[in-house]
Amino acid sequence: MPACFVTRRLPGDALARLAAEHEVDVWPDRLPPQREALIDRLQGCAGLLCLLTDPIDAALIDACPDLRAISCFAVGSDNVDLEAATARGIPVGTTPGVLTEATADLTFALILAAGRRLEEAASEVRAGDWLTWEPARLLGEDVHGATLGIVGLGRIGRAVARRAEGFGMRVIHHGRRDGLALGDLLRQSDFVSLHCPLTPATRGLIGERELQAMKTSASLVNVARGPIVDTRALERALREGWIAAAALDVTDPEPLPADHPLLGAPRLTVVPHVASATRAAREAIGAMAVDNLLAGLAGARMPHCANPQVYDRPD
């Protein structure tokens, strides 16, 4: 019965299914295990179920000689060195599709929050600044009828586009192979929503030049990956009025320290990476992650493998 290490407790009954077939060691703390602790707990383990916040690099993989399967509790695998895993013959599983609708819901919540200044409005009420009804106070931007620019029209981007139809929005998009040029999308959009994966090509995709290309009345929404946006450039854009607002589910760094300069910028909404945080979505992610790990440990093909070339390696 090979042993598995899971880097955090999971909702639902997925871990019970894993424990029915393998020894399972679950990290008990709220914060992730530090590198040394992670390597130590992985000694003798054949399986790893990790989160996006757990860096699994080549050196860590080399330090864990018994490791045979890695499953990510995430739609992406950018925390894992796929080349190193493949070289060791280790399949890496991900959980695509199951968080699409929950993430699209959260995206639209952030679009509305940015456009209608909801965080500022709620803060005024709590601070006792709601003194009367004022015609010119907290004026935001219309969402209905606005132009929504989607960067990355994959599963989540398309789900956001469907929601935009209900608001009568004009939807445009930029992709690797189709759509508008990024600069054209930025100049036309009232709301820019990021849904592309984090790759070398998209790291820092939205920097000073791109933010300055946007309308001064526009809002930026990011539910993809923090490093797609240059954090310093975004802070400057908000302080100097290059754009009207930003709403983020992901940041760089993540989490943002409480004293980070970006948090002092105006018209900013930040939530703590909760796009998939519904009971149904998180339980489905856990179930898929365990399915991947069970298959990998059984020597079968993972249902959702990020490095399928591992199965083409010679024995």
Spatial neighbors of 90 by CB under 8 A, at least 6 apart, are 61, 67, 68, 69, 70, 310
Q: What angle do CA 212, 217, 220 make, to 5 degrees?
A: 65
Q: How many CA atoms lie within 13 A of 24 on its CB side?
A: 21
Separation between Cα atoms, residue 41 and residue 67, nearest integer Å: 11
**Token pair for residue 301?**
């093909």
For residue 149, is it left (φ>0), alpha (ψ between -120 and 50) or beta? Answer: beta
Q: Is residue 225 annotated as a catalytic residue, yes or no?
A: yes
How far CA 8 is from CA of 53, 59, 164, 202, in Å, comes to 11, 22, 35, 29
Burial of 280 (0-12, 13-18, 19+ CB in 10 A): middle
Q: Is residue 260 annotated as a catalytic residue, yes or no?
A: no
**Token pair for residue 130?**
């709601």
225, 267, 282, 304: the catalytic one is 225
174, 273, 282, 304: the catalytic one is 273
The residues assigned a catalytic role are 225, 254, 273
